[in-house]
Structure 1
Amino acid sequence: MKESMQKVRELEKQQFGYSYAMRVIDFDSETIAPEDGNDGRAEAMEFLSRQSFDLLVNDSTAALLKAAAADAETEQEQAEVRNLQREYDEIAKIPAAEYAAFAKLCQQSIPAWTKAKRTNDFSVFAPYLEKIVAARRAQAAYFDPDRDPYEVFLDRYERGLTIAQCDAFFAQLRETIVPLLAEIQKRGAPIRTDFLNQEWPIDAQKKVSEKIMQLWGLDPKRSMLAESEHPFTTEFWRKDVRITTHYMPRDMFSNLYSVAHEGGHALYELNINPDYDYTSVTGGATMGLHESQSRLFENIVGRSRAFVEYLYPTLKELFPQQLTDVSAEEIWRAVNRAEPSLIRTEADELTYALHIMVRYELEKALMQGTLAVADLPAAWNAKYKEYLGVDVPDDAHGCLQDIHWSMGDLGYFPSYALGSAYGAQAIADLRKTHDFDAQWAAGDMEPLKAALKERVWQWGSMKDPRWLVKSLCGGEFDAKYFTEYLTAKYTEIYKL
């Protein structure tokens, strides 16, 4: 290894240290940290962000990356330099003080969002969101002043994604989802749901969580489950990935599928090639690829008839009173019911993309300056009425339901819909050589995990995202696999 690459590795190890510390702060703030300690955490985050920024953005690092680009000999070394250069280019134009202040702002914003959601008071969060939107618009202008500010951040989460591509993708989904939902509402066979809304003891729900963790193969020596207001995954490194869930006394399935979803994220991070440890090529490549894994394990596996039948005896044992006269078939149909709803994380596979479209259009308008934060609740409610036909009763069930904007994640939401489509195409291709229904009915996730590790997980972010999408999908991405999957699944469920 050339001297320049040795110095790159030293830089990456230092970056890892700062990243680890900041992720500890984030994880603690959303799980176990006391509320009144937030100011101190925000100060610490601002300091660490500034140190991390100064470590990367300076003349010495710029010269080092230039030298390393010429000296890199292996594919991994070339990818490390390429990823570092991209990171450098993304933030180098942002004034250091603004970069650090933004990290502090987000650390202050998250608890404000939590309080606003719990108290149903958008005014608590609005001032923070105004600052976040303004900061993101400024950052986009620093990076590429001639490009649409929202598109700048779309590209951050899903490399190469444009507004035009997003618009076309969502239009294709809408052409299938809207008429299919209309058919279901018009002549779909009724689905039993009376057993869903009842008391589900939290202790028993926690055992369901443990069962899902075990089935997914999440080793407790390398992963853990905590509780938070909004479920999420944090990867500290390849042997320390933590997920969270939120228990609702009257909705056991919300927790079950939250753990299944976050567990998919965790599997990706836990199975990256150890050669990439502490380098810029570890970690998931894009959020679309990451969400493909979480949505795949949550829905394609977790809501499959085969898996529900496998899990049924465990659920009956843990909830004997709640499921006295409920069959596995009734559970399978109930957890896959298609009905317009208020909450994205509890939405069915068919209408889920409509929830994403609402967020896509609103955050695009916020970033483009055509929607003021003060007008967000009304705009949100109008979109939900237009797209899902539901009336939003309050902001807690409306524009305050997601944590993403409080974290500065404007441009993230389309990744969920893209990930769903990636996963559907991947499974369609893998079914050519795998009998997943038989395997999942036996609780055997290993063949699927092995295939996903070979196609995506092992590579971390070393390969180009376009290569990884093609590898995952078994060919060039085509949203038709997702629309065909939805059509077949819901035709069967509703006996159309």
Structure 2
Amino acid sequence: MELATALEELAALQKEYFAFQYAEGILYYDSVTGAPEGSTQGRGEAMAILSGRDFEILASPHVGALLDFLQTRQAELSELQNAQVRVIRREYDQISKVPKHEYTAYAALINEATAVWHRSKQENDYASFAPYIDRIVGTMIRFAGYYAPGKDAYDVWLDHHERGMTKEKLETFFGGLRRTIVPLLQRITDKGAQPDNGFLFREYPVEKQRALSDALMQVLTIDRRYCAIAETEHPFTTEFTKHDVRITTKYLPDNLAGAMYSTIHEGGHALYELHTGDELMYTFLGHGTSMGIHESQSRFFENMVGRSEAFVQAIYPKLSALFPAQLKDVDAHRFWLAVNRAEPSLIRTEADELTYSLHVMVRFEIEKKLFAGEIIAKDIPALWASLMKDYLGVDVPDDRRGALQDSHWSGGSFGYFPSYAVGSAYAAQFYAAMGRELDIEAAVRSGDLSPLARWLEQKIWRFGAAKEPDELLLSATGAPFDPKYYLSYLTDKFRRVYGLDGAW
């Protein structure tokens, strides 16, 4: 085989795979944003056929031979071509080990589980959803056995979302977080005074909240020609190409901060996808490199930028203009204190920045036990309640605000949750590195986030999946991953918010 011919085949393979992924992505997006409730069956049939074609494209022995050939010619390939081969090889080595009928059946299962989860959450009916958890976990354990025989199944899926991640590493990481978060939270509790946040729960018309989302996307420098926003039960972001990115949010008429920070969070994801390099389009590199790095971008904008006093001051004129009656007795400083109020709560997506990782730890402990075979789905609500009481001191009143609150398990995203906490720690390290080169606070206070966006595009976004997470972190910050930046960030911020070292 000629090298030029092999590279043409590699490009054609990636473009065809992209086309089927695009179609499947559109089907999923529609299913959770606008499709009628009774559409599940037909969509499931379509998804099974499309995923079957995915399988045939990628799992073909010819693809294995093509990758073998290209790997013998590494010295003649460009850096990007070698990265493509590396990433496709990783995907091929997994999918080619799974029987096709199991692969397509899993796609159909996820489609059905997603629909059942939506209905179960609305009706607080955990019993209807529980069997899907057992079926999904069973399939994922079986797939892990195909991918990496003899390796711990949960470690396989942790590595899938964040390469190199294991239970052991996460236990060490979470242990360090708890040693910082719990005493800090106790100091806040002992202080006995909380910022008033009652005004955040006044009546905020959804129409005006939609206008706020539009304004926030503009401030974030999101180009609306290539990014749309829709509404769903559980917000998420998806990309089809860098020129077609969709974010979603959820509006509640009596909760201003919920949709506001959901939009900023998803906007961070969108910025990453919108700014991958043009040369990566239609390849396996044209998206974020890992879930941890992706979450670092969403958490960076949601928390380090969005919950900073400088940002609140910059957008407060818009908030006051949209909600003059609701915020007539509230100034920007008071609003900033309110959106940084730290206290245990039930819902992960509404949790404050300090206690958020404790919610992640609850899910991590449950997933470990599920994949170890120590519990099954019916045991989750009781274990959830016990862990929430232990970690956060709260009582879980129902499954809708407990084990049914997140969509992740219905989509098979076991092993994803730790990415939120790891991503937050990555974000703090990126923030510290950026701060050595830019006056972040001045840029944010001006309402012009373009200097931040340019730094992130240059250091992170443009590489897509061409660089591995550890390589990206090292090149962007000059150091390997170190959670100390996150621990310092949390400590310094909440000492300031609560005046722990002085007057409040």
TM-score between the two structures when normalised by the length of structure 2: 0.97
CA positional deviation for 1:70 = 2.2
In structure 1, the residue matched to 2:99 is 95
CA positional deviation for 1:188 = 5.5
In structure 2, the residue matched to 1:82 is 86
In structure 2, the residue matched to 1:451 is 455
Tell me which of 467, 471, 475 is aligned to 2:471.
467
What CA distance in whole angstroms lies between the structure 2 residues aligned with 1:449 and 1:195?
Answer: 32
What CA distance in whole angstroms lies between the structure 2 residues aligned with 1:194 and 1:6?
Answer: 60
What CA distance in whole angstroms lies between the structure 1 residues aligned with 2:197 and 2:263?
Answer: 22
In 2 relative to 1, CA 139–11 (structure 1 residues): closer, same or farther, beyond 3 Å? Answer: same
Tell me which of 99, 103, 111 is aligned to 1:107.
111
Q: Deviations over 1:301-325 (max 9, x none)?
A: 0000000011111111111111111
What CA distance in whole angstroms lies between the structure 2 residues aligned with 1:482 and 1:129?
Answer: 33
Q: Secondary structure at the match of 1:235?
A: strand
Structure 2 unmatched ranges of 5 or more: none
Q: Which amino acid aligns with 1:7?
A: E
The reply on whether 1:187 has 2:187 as its aligned counterpart is no
Q: Which amino acid aligns with 2:33?
A: T
Asked if structure 2 preserves the Cα contact closer than 8 Å seen for 1:8 and 1:68, the reply is no
CA positional deviation for 1:256 = 0.5
Tell me which of 401, 417, 427 is aligned to 1:413.
417
Asked if structure 2 preserves the Cα contact closer than 8 Å seen for 1:189 and 1:495, the reply is no
Asked if structure 2 preserves the Cα contact closer than 8 Å seen for 1:422 and 1:473, the reply is no
Asked if structure 2 preserves the Cα contact closer than 8 Å seen for 1:312 and 1:328, the reply is yes
Overall identity of the aligned pairs, in %: 47
Tell me which of 7, 10, 13 is aligned to 1:11.
13
What CA distance in whole angstroms lies between the structure 1 residues aligned with 2:437 and 2:331?
Answer: 31
Q: Secondary structure at the match of 1:47?
A: helix
Tell me which of 160, 177, 200 is aligned to 2:164.
160
In structure 2, the residue matched to 1:66 is 68
Tell me which of 344, 359, 362 is aligned to 1:358.
362
Asked if structure 2 preserves the Cα contact closer than 8 Å seen for 1:426 and 1:474, the reply is no
In structure 2, the residue matched to 1:37 is 39
What CA distance in whole angstroms lies between the structure 2 residues aligned with 1:90 and 1:472?
Answer: 30
Asked if structure 1 preserves the Cα contact closer than 8 Å seen for 2:52 and 2:104, the reply is yes
CA positional deviation for 1:145 = 2.3
Q: Deviations over 1:334-373 (max 9, x none)?
A: 1001000000001111000000000111111111111110
CA positional deviation for 1:434 = 1.1
Q: Which amino acid aligns with 1:219?
A: D
Asked if structure 2 preserves the Cα contact closer than 8 Å seen for 1:212 and 1:260, the reply is yes
Q: Secondary structure at the match of 1:196?
A: helix
Superposed counterparts of 1:219-258, under 5 Å: 219-258=223-262
Count of residue pairs the alignment pairs up? 496
What CA distance in whole angstroms lies between the structure 2 residues aligned with 1:65 and 1:432?
Answer: 42
What CA distance in whole angstroms lies between the structure 1 residues aligned with 2:406 and 2:198?
Answer: 27
Superposed counterparts of 1:367-406, under 5 Å: 367-406=371-410
What CA distance in whole angstroms lies between the structure 2 residues aligned with 1:473 and 1:347?
Answer: 28
Q: Secondary structure at the match of 1:244?
A: strand
Q: Deviations over 1:372-393 (max 9, x none)?
A: 1010011101100000000001
In structure 2, the residue matched to 1:262 is 266
Asked if structure 2 preserves the Cα contact closer than 8 Å seen for 1:350 and 1:486, the reply is yes
In structure 1, the residue matched to 2:209 is 205
Q: Which amino acid aligns with 2:140?
A: R
What CA distance in whole angstroms lies between the structure 2 residues aligned with 1:469 and 1:294?
Answer: 16
Q: Which amino acid aligns with 1:181?
A: L
Q: Deviations over 1:416-452 (max 9, x none)?
A: 0000000111111211121111111111111111111
In 2 relative to 1, CA 344–473 (structure 1 residues): closer, same or farther, beyond 3 Å? Answer: farther
CA positional deviation for 1:190 = 3.0
Q: Deviations over 1:22-45 (max 9, x none)?
A: 000000001011111111011111
Tell me which of 167, 170, 176 is aligned to 1:172.
176
Q: Which amino acid aligns with 1:351?
A: T
Q: Which amino acid aligns with 1:336?
A: N
Q: Deviations over 1:109-155 (max 9, x none)?
A: 11100011000010121111111011001111111221110000000
CA positional deviation for 1:465 = 2.1
CA positional deviation for 1:469 = 2.0
What CA distance in whole angstroms lies between the structure 1 residues aligned with 2:278 and 2:59?
Answer: 27
What CA distance in whole angstroms lies between the structure 2 residues aligned with 1:472 and 1:243?
Answer: 26
Tell me which of 428, 439, 446 is aligned to 2:443.
439
Q: Secondary structure at the match of 1:173?
A: helix
Q: Deviations over 1:210-249 (max 9, x none)?
A: 0111111111210000001100001000100000000011
Asked if structure 1 preserves the Cα contact closer than 8 Å seen for 2:237 and 2:266, the reply is yes
The reply on whether 1:304 has 2:308 as its aligned counterpart is yes
CA positional deviation for 1:189 = 4.3
Runs of 4 or more, structure 1, over 3 Å off, are none
CA positional deviation for 1:453 = 0.7
Asked if structure 1 preserves the Cα contact closer than 8 Å seen for 2:84 and 2:283, the reply is yes
Q: Which amino acid aligns with 1:10?
A: A
What CA distance in whole angstroms lies between the structure 1 residues aligned with 2:176 and 2:320?
Answer: 40
Structure 1 unmatched ranges of 5 or more: none
Q: Which amino acid aligns with 1:74?
A: S
Q: Which amino acid aligns with 2:6?
A: S
Tell me which of 55, 58, 61 is aligned to 2:57.
55
Tell me which of 280, 293, 304 is aligned to 1:276.
280
What CA distance in whole angstroms lies between the structure 2 residues aligned with 1:66 and 1:141?
Answer: 23
What CA distance in whole angstroms lies between the structure 2 residues aligned with 1:127 and 1:242?
Answer: 31
What CA distance in whole angstroms lies between the structure 2 residues aligned with 1:286 and 1:218?
Answer: 21
Q: Which amino acid aligns with 1:434?
A: L
CA positional deviation for 1:473 = 3.5
Asked if structure 2 preserves the Cα contact closer than 8 Å seen for 1:188 and 1:494, the reply is no
